Amino acid sequence: MNGLHILAELYDCTRDCASTARCMTDVTVLAQLCRSACAKAGLTPVAEAFHQFKNPDGSSGGVTGAIVLAESHLAIHTWPELNAVTLDLYVCNFSQDNRNAAESAFSALIQAFDPQRLERREILRGLTPAS
Amino acid sequence: MNGLHILAELYDCTRDCASTARCMTDVTVLAQLCRSACAKAGLTPVAEAFHQFKNPDGSSGGVTGAIVLAESHLAIHTWPELNAVTLDLYVCNFSQDNRNAAESAFSALIQAFDPQRLERREILRGLTPAS
């Protein structure tokens, strides 16, 4: 269960980029982006759950979702009205050190949203062995 | 997007409790526990993904899953071989302060596993407004 959890807040995502806008508001596009980032990084999705929010006028709002991994999970929430995203990527090192895989998937997601400002925190989890 | 993220590692979960054992190794039981904890706390599930791991001999291993919430997400991974669990609960305060709801759901999950040792960290996220 020991592993790396990256928590990030992405601000000022590129406003004029059509692909960023679609990732923010289209559940199909965001889910595919997340799947692709995990696959290219060599992570192992085992289940997923995504949801499209709607604005009061019926237009597409934010998207929220999670991919459950054999290595732990990815969770993402978009806030198009704030031009911001929150991202979690937690990878356990059960059979191997997955830090490089986590960094690879993280980079792919950051690249897609192109935030002008990024707050990133790392938490090392489960380092205290169970007695 | 501002909100509270609770990250916890649960160690030495009650070994002799049948209900704890079932939460550790039965995806149906764990998913129901998570749904119930969210519902009683007044949180709003919008999608979910759970997965049952199998041991090499075909018996049930750990369980992993996430509930995507209107308020953000819950993610949980059980490690029956270590008698341990990792738990994430992230609630945003978009329309109201959801700290009490988060604490309520967290307590219900802790109670189910009855860990003899708990490492809990809180991260306040998204407090820096987007420019």
> How high is the ipTM of this complex?
0.92
Catalytic, A73? Answer: no
Q: What pLDDT, on the 0 to 100 scale, is given for residue B97? A: 84
Q: What pLDDT, on the 0 to 100 scale, is given for residue B98? A: 86
Whether the per-residue pLDDT at B96 is higher than 90: the answer is no
Q: Hey, are the CB atoms on A66 and B64 less than 8 Å from each other?
A: no
B113 to chain A, closest Cα gap in Å:
14
Domain A3-64+72-125 has CATH 3.40.605.10: no
The minimal CB distance from A66 to the residues B66, B77, B126 is found for B66
Q: What pLDDT, on the 0 to 100 scale, is given for residue A117? A: 95
A14 to chain B, closest Cα gap in Å:
12
What DSSP letter does each residue of B63-75 carry, written as one string? EEEEEEETTEEEE
Give the chain B residue nearest A130 (alpha carbons).
B11
Q: What pLDDT, on the 0 to 100 scale, is given for residue A93? A: 83
Lateral strand order in the sheet of A115-125? A45-54, A60-69, A72-79, A84-92, A3-13, A115-125
Q: What pLDDT, on the 0 to 100 scale, is given for residue A120? A: 96
pTM check: above 0.80: yes
CATH number of B3-125: 3.60.90.10
Of the listed A17, A36, A77, A104, which one is catalytic?
A: A77
Whether the per-residue pLDDT at B131 is higher than 60: the answer is no
Q: Which of A113, A70, A64, A48 is nearest to B91 (CA)?
A: A64
Q: What pLDDT, on the 0 to 100 scale, is given for residue B127? A: 79
User: Collapsing DSSP states into helix, strand and coil, what is residue B110?
Assistant: helix
Buried b (16+ CB within 10 A) or exposed e, B27-44: bebbbebbeebbeebebe
* Mean per-residue pLDDT of chain A: 92
Q: Worst-scoring range by mean pLDDT, A41-50, A91-100, B74-83?
A: A91-100
Cα(A8)–Cα(A89) distance, rounded to whole angstroms?
9
